[in-house]
Structure 1
C-alpha cells in the first residue's frame, strides 16, 4: 500500500511541477512570496535555503475552529512552487543572487565574517523576478570563539509533543494544531537555554534536525518562538523524492546526512546530540558516534517508550560509552538538567529553575557520569 501511495504522490508531484512551469512561463502567478529558512555556517561561509511559492501563507489562525486549522495546515502540503525565480539574499552588506529549482527551492552561499558580539546575523530575501513586494527575514548563526560545542536536537517528542511512533496520531496532532496551540514538553525551554547560553547570551550554535517536511517550517518556528524555546537553525526534510517518507518511522538517512553536515560545518566544535527513544534517534546517534570518532561529547535521550525499548537503548548506551562518548537517558527535563550539569555541559546556576523542582536521582544509564572530554590538539 505504501508503495502505491508513494507512486501516486510522485505522479501528482510531476503533474504539479509541469503545471507550475507553464504558469511561470506565462506569468500567471497572482502573488509570489518567498520563505527564507534560518541557516548556519562558520566565518567565511554561511548557507541559506528558502523557497518561492505562489499564494498566501496557510498558517492557521489562533483560536480558529479545528476544521479550519486542519484545512489550512493541509494546504501547506499543496504548494504552488515557483520555478526559475530570481531571488536576492542579503546578510549584512553581502548580497548574492540565487535561482529557484523546479520545486521552488533555492540555496545561497555567502562569505560572511563573524560578529564578535553575537551568535546570530539577520538575513533577508526578496524575489526579483517575477517581481514581488514581499521580503522574507530569517537568522543565520555564525559562532564566535566563545562557543564550546554545537547542540543538535530532534524536535518531535524531544521538544514538541508529537507521538511520532504513531503515524496517524502524529499526522492528526500536526494537522489540528497551530503554532500557538502546539504543545512543548515541560522544562525544555530552561534546559535548552542552559545548554546554548552564557550569562543569558546565546553562545553555542543550535541546530534542530527533524524528519518533518520543509512545508512545516513556519509552523515549527512559530511554535518554538511562541513557547520561548531557544532559536536554532532547522534542518528539515524535502519530501519531493519520496512524499510518503515523512510517516516512515525507520527512514533516518536524512538525519545521518544532516548531522554529518553540521559536524563538517563546525570542525572545531564537539557535538551534543539530543533525541528521544520513541523512534530511531538512539540508533542514529550511535552511528554518528561510530562514524565521527571523537566528535560527539555527549548523547542525551529522553525516554518516551516502554521497558522493552528502554533495554534496547541501554544496550546502545553501552556501545556508545565504550567508544568514549557519554550517553544519558532521562525521563523528564529535570533529570536531563541533572545530566547536563554532571557532564559539565551547563552550570548548576544555569539550570537553577529546574533544580527548584522535585529532583530525583537521574535514571540516566547504568554508567557512572563521565567527565567531558577535551578536544585533542
Structure 2
C-alpha cells in the first residue's frame, strides 16, 4: 500500500512506525536526505521522489499527487501527523521559531487533515450512494442479570454498511474500514427503549452514543432477550433491536477476554500497522490465533459441557469496529458475547494513548452485574493486560478464578515484570498463567476443572488446522 509523504514530520512518523518493506513511499522533494532514501530502498521499500514540490495546503495539487501515487487501484494513505517540522534539506524554506510561526504550522496541520478527508470522501463517493441518508440506530450487544439490563448503542447519519466477502479487494476493504471510521454521529437525538411493556427515554451524547440501564418489571430467565429501540422524533421513525444476554443459572463462571493480540492478531502496539491490516482484510480473511476458537468454545461449555458460561470481550478498539469484530467472531466460530469497546473520535482511533483505564472501567462494570460470579480473565503480554488484571484481583480477589496471559512479548525485561505480577497475584490465591499458546492454556484449564478433558483434542486439532493455514504465525 503506497503512502504520500509531503512534510518532514510525516516522513518521521511513518518511516519509524511501519515495516518499510511492505509499502511504497511517494515523497516530496527535499523532505528526506539521500541517505534516508537509500536506507528505505535497502529495506525493500518502493521509494519515489515526486517530480515537483507539492504544497500540502493546495488541495488540487495534493489530489493530483494522490492520483499519481495510486497503483493498481490501491488506496493511497496521506499523512495526518503533527504540525510539519522543518525539512531535512534546504529545498523547502525553514520556518522561523516564533509563536506566530508555530500557530501558522498548526493551521497548516488542520488544513492538511481536511485535505486528506476531502480526498478520501471523494473516493468514497465513487463506490457508495451519497443520497437519501437518514439517522439510524446501531445497537450493540447488551448484558444483564435477572433484575437489571445494560444496553448501549449509537445514532449515526449514515447508510447501512455493505456486507463484506472473502473475495473483496483491498480497495473494497479500505472503503469499508473508512466508512466505519468516518461515520457521522448524531448528538442530541432522543432514543426510546421498549421492554416488557415499559418505555425508557434518553438522549445521545456528543459522540452519538447512548445507554440504558433497565430494571425489568419481571425477573428474567437466562438467555438472549430483545430490547426494541427507536428514534421517535425522526421520519419513519428509525427502529432497531438490541440483543441482551442474561447469564443462565447453569453458568459456573464467566470469561472476560481481550481481542487485540489475544483472539485476533492486530499488532495493536503499532497502530499504523494495525490500520494496514484492517484495511487489507475483513472478517472472512483475518484469522484468529491458533486454537482460540476451540478453547473459547470449551470454556463456554464448561466441565459438564452444558454450563453456557457467558463470554465478554473488552478491547481498546473503537466502537466503529463493532460490526467487523462481531462478524469475525461469527465467521471464525468463536463464541459471541457482549463487546465493550472504546469511545473514540476519528482522529483518536490510531493514537498511542493509554487504554488501561478504559479496560478496567469496563471490567468493573461487568463484575458489578455479576457480584456472585467468578471470572476467567484472558489477555496478552503485549500491552497492559497483566497489570490491568492484577489490579482487578486487588479490587475483587474473590471474583477472579484464574488469569491466562498469551506470551507475545519475549523481551526479558517484560518477562521479569510478569514474574513479579505472577508472585503478587499468587499471594491472593489466584493463578496468573503465562501461556505460549491455546493448547497450553486449555491443558491447565482441564486440570483445573474449567473444561472437560475431552475438549483438549478439539483444541489441539483446531491449532493444527490453523497451523496449516497460517504457517509460522
Q: Normalising by structure 1, what TM-score?
A: 0.81
Q: Which residue of 1 aligns with 2:336?
A: 231
Higher helix share: 2
Q: Offset of 1:310 from its aligned partner?
A: 2.9
Q: Is structure 2 residue 285 aligned with structure 1 residue 184?
A: no
Residue of structure 2 equivalent to 1:32: 135
Kindly indicate which of the two structures has a greater share of residues assigned to strand: 1
Secondary structure in 1 aligned to 2:299? Answer: helix
**1:312, 1:54 → 2: CA distance?**
46
The answer to whether structure 1 residue 164 and structure 2 residue 268 are counterparts is: yes
User: What are the ranges of 5 or more consecutive residues in structure 2 without an aligned counterpart?
Assistant: 1-8, 14-80, 84-105, 118-130, 465-473
1:349 corresponds to 2:349: no
Distance in 1 (CA, whole Å) between partners of 2:168 and 2:433 is 40
Q: Where in structure 2 are the equivalents of 1:1-377 lying within 5 Å?
A: 4=82, 30-59=133-162, 61-62=164-165, 63-91=167-195, 93-112=197-216, 113=218, 115-116=220-221, 118-132=222-236, 135-198=239-302, 201=306, 203-240=308-345, 243-244=347-348, 246-248=350-352, 250-308=354-412, 309-354=414-459
Q: 2:307 and 2:142 mapped to 1: Cα distance? A: 15
Q: Which structure ranks higher in relative contact order (CA pairs < 8 Å, sequence separation ≥ 6)?
A: 1
Aligned equivalents of 1:120, 1:226: Cα separation in 2: 20
Cα 1:31–1:200 change in 2 (3 A) is farther
- The residue aligned with 2:125 is none
Tell me the CA shift for residue 94 of structure 1.
Answer: 4.8
| TM-aligned CA distance change 1:59 to 1:302, over 3 Å | farther
User: Please, which moves more after superposition, 305-314 or 67-76?
Assistant: 305-314
Whole-angstrom distance in 1 between the partners of 2:384 and 2:234: 42
SS at 1:174's partner residue? helix
CA drift at 1:136: 2.9
Report the TM-score when normalising by structure 2: 0.66
- Superposition CA RMSD, Å: 3.0
Contact in 2 for aligned 1:91/1:121 (Cα 8 Å): no
Q: In the TM superposition, what is the alpha-carbon distance from 1:200 to its structure 2 partner?
A: 5.5
- CA deviation profile, 1:21-73 (whole Å, cap 9, x unmatched): xxxxxxx9732211001011111110101011112134562122102211220
CA distance in 2, matches of 1:47, 1:248: 29
Question: Is contact 2:151-2:213 (8 Å) kept?
Answer: yes
**Distance in 2 separating the partners of 1:95 and 1:349:** 47
SS at match of 1:300: strand
Deviations 1:152-175 (A, max 9, x none): 100011111211222221121122
Alpha carbons 1:94, 1:110 under 8 Å: kept: no
1:151–1:274 Cα contact (<8 Å) kept: yes
Measure the CA separation in 1 of the matches of 2:334 and 2:277. Answer: 19
Q: Which moved more, 1:219-228 or 1:90-99?
A: 90-99
What is the deviation of 1:134? 5.2
Distance 2:252 2:305 in 1: 15
Using the TM superposition, name which of 175-184 and 149-158 deviates more: 175-184
Distance apart, 1:121 and its partner CA = 1.9
Larger radius of gyration: 2
Size of the alignment, in residue pairs?
342
Q: Any idea what SS the aligned residue of 2:454 has?
A: coil
